[in-house]
Amino acid sequence: MQKKLIALAVAGLASTGAFAQSNVTVYGLLDLGLQHASATGKDSVNKIGSMSSNLFGFKGTEDLGNGLSAGFTLEGGIAADTGAGATVTTTGSKLFSRQSFLSLSSKTAGTVLVGRFNTFGRAASINASATPLSGVDPIGLLAQTAGFSISGNGIDADNTGGRISNGVGYVSPSFNGLTVGYAHSFAENVGPLAPTAATAARNNNPSFTINELWLGYKNGPLNVDYVYNNIGSVGVAAVGTTAATSTTATLLAIGPIQEHFLGAEYDFGVVKLLASYQTRKTEATNTDKVTNIGASIPVSAAGKVGVSYAKLSMGSDLKGTAALGTAGIGFGATAATTLNDASGYAVSYMHALSKRTSAYTTYTRLKNDNNGTINAIGSTTPLAGGSVSVFSLGMQHSF
């Protein structure tokens, strides 16, 4: 009798609109391992941590007929070592802090997205890295910490990395391997650009327009990504100075921001070579640059070695300051970080235990020049001009 009641209850639910979706998927990734981190002038740290972002999500599509389909994605983050939800620095915890958007797709016209979604720059930066784990990748760590909007953990008003909110985006169909994408994030809760208390409040809830253009080309073993970001004046509290002494001129000094990224990979079979070059320029500064080269080498049917090297060259007025982080505009730099030239390398080994489970070991080292204090995920901040290193041994499982 009890089984019949349960069957009737399930049948009743299935008849409602809650199960009207034709295709709904639950997915996620869990990554945990042992980490040993050290930094110049600081005690070393041993911890349980992650080299990739832990996440869970729901996505679904519905066939609307005539080549059209509607879809949704809801994706949240997890601190897998404690079970806590991901925390967004400026606005507190969000259930779906990673992505939450609706989409409308046409087989002939492309896809439109509305809501919060991954940037094209995030995907392009990951594509160009031979060691793409977020806690390992030197191109992502240097570009992110230096405040570049284009990185694996780049532009994000909520400090969760690689995404935009209040956005609308478009992705075209592939034309002989060429795909075009465009994204726009609307400025909301716009505050004054004068050095007032209201400005400080606005910096804690960033408000700026973002326009992003992506051109992607894939043909056999060759993959090329070009990304252009144009970010409106952000009116930050300080550039090369403190909030207490900043003036209207310095408030406007770092906007608008223009960034270019060019990345490529070519798979020779026995080795895949990868490289990227990106720049950042504002109206009042010289050009900052990040270069990256790497190789991914299959060593068995299940094993792969990755080697990468990246260099940050700070040419702007932000050199020697923590202006981007002080402003809190969410590009990755933090108020405790002094920006200067830096370089880094990483070595990783990934071994597939199955289609969904892999074991890995990684080593990353970043070196600052002069008074720089850029650090790596999981490490403490080094003394000025010092270096940091992180060794990890872990496993990840996707579902």
Token pair, residue 373, equals 């204090």
What pLDDT was estimated at residue 356? 96
End-to-end CA distance of the chain: 35
Q: Predicted confidence band at 254 (pLDDT cuts at 50, 70, 90)?
A: low
191 in any annotated domain: yes
| Mean pLDDT in residue range 262-291 | 91
For residues 371 and 149, give the distance between their C-alpha atoms in angstroms, rounded to a whole number: 23
Checking if the pLDDT of 105 tops 70, the result is yes
Q: Are 44 and 38 within 8 A, CB to CB?
A: yes
For residues 375 and 361, give the distance between their C-alpha atoms in angstroms, rounded to a whole number: 20
What pLDDT was estimated at residue 261? 97
What pLDDT was estimated at residue 281? 86
What pLDDT was estimated at residue 82? 82
- 349-392 tens-digit pLDDT: 999 999 999 999 999 999 999 888 888 776 778 888 999 999 99
Could you tell me what percent of the chain has a pLDDT over 70? 73
What pLDDT was estimated at residue 305? 97
Q: Tell me, what CATH number does 150's domain have?
A: 2.40.160.10
15 in any annotated domain: no
Q: Chain-wide mean pLDDT for the chain?
A: 80
- 158-210 tens-digit pLDDT: 545 688 888 999 999 999 999 999 999 887 654 444 444 444 433 333 446 88
13 in any annotated domain: no
What pLDDT was estimated at residue 218? 97
| Mean pLDDT in residue range 144-158 | 73
Q: Which of the pair, 4 or 285, is modelled with greater confidence? A: 285
Q: Which residue matches tokens 């209207």?
A: 248
7 in any annotated domain: no
Q: Which of the pair, 335 or 312, is modelled with greater confidence? A: 312
What pLDDT was estimated at residue 355? 95
Checking if the pLDDT of 268 tops 90, the result is yes
Checking if the pLDDT of 3 tops 80, the result is no
- CA 282 vs. chain centroid, Å, equals 22
326 in any annotated domain: yes
H runs (alpha helix) in the chain: 2-14, 120-127, 138-145, 197-203, 248-251, 323-327
Q: Which residue matches tokens 């990106």?
A: 278
For residues 106 and 378, give the distance between their C-alpha atoms in angstroms, rounded to a whole number: 43
For residues 76 and 306, give the distance between their C-alpha atoms in angstroms, rounded to a whole number: 28
Q: Predicted confidence band at 1 (pLDDT cuts at 50, 70, 90)?
A: very low
What pLDDT was estimated at residue 194? 42
What pLDDT was estimated at residue 23? 87
97 in any annotated domain: yes
Phi, psi of 5 (to 5 degrees): -65, -40
What pLDDT was estimated at residue 284? 63
What pLDDT was estimated at residue 153? 67
For residues 395 and 99, give the distance between their C-alpha atoms in angstroms, rounded to a whole number: 24
| Mean pLDDT in residue range 247-255 | 40
Checking if the pLDDT of 144 tops 70, the result is yes
Q: Predicted confidence band at 154 (pLDDT cuts at 50, 70, 90)?
A: low
What pLDDT was estimated at residue 324? 53
Global pTM reads: 0.84
91 in any annotated domain: yes
What's the domain count of the chain?
1
What pLDDT was estimated at residue 155? 60
Q: Which of the pair, 322 or 274, is modelled with greater confidence? A: 274
Supply the range of the domain harboring residue 362.
Answer: 23-398
What pLDDT was estimated at residue 380? 78
**Axis crossing angle, helix 120-127 with helix 138-145, rounded to the nearest 10:** 140
Checking if the pLDDT of 7 tops 80, the result is no
228 in any annotated domain: yes
Q: Predicted confidence band at 91 (pLDDT cuts at 50, 70, 90)?
A: very low
What pLDDT was estimated at residue 157? 52
- 34-82 tens-digit pLDDT: 999 999 998 898 999 888 889 999 999 999 999 999 999 999 988 888 8
What pLDDT was estimated at residue 163? 86
For residues 143 and 132, give the distance between their C-alpha atoms in angstroms, rounded to a whole number: 13
Q: Which of the pair, 17 or 221, is modelled with greater confidence? A: 221
- 286-324 tens-digit pLDDT: 789 999 999 999 999 999 999 999 999 988 667 776 655
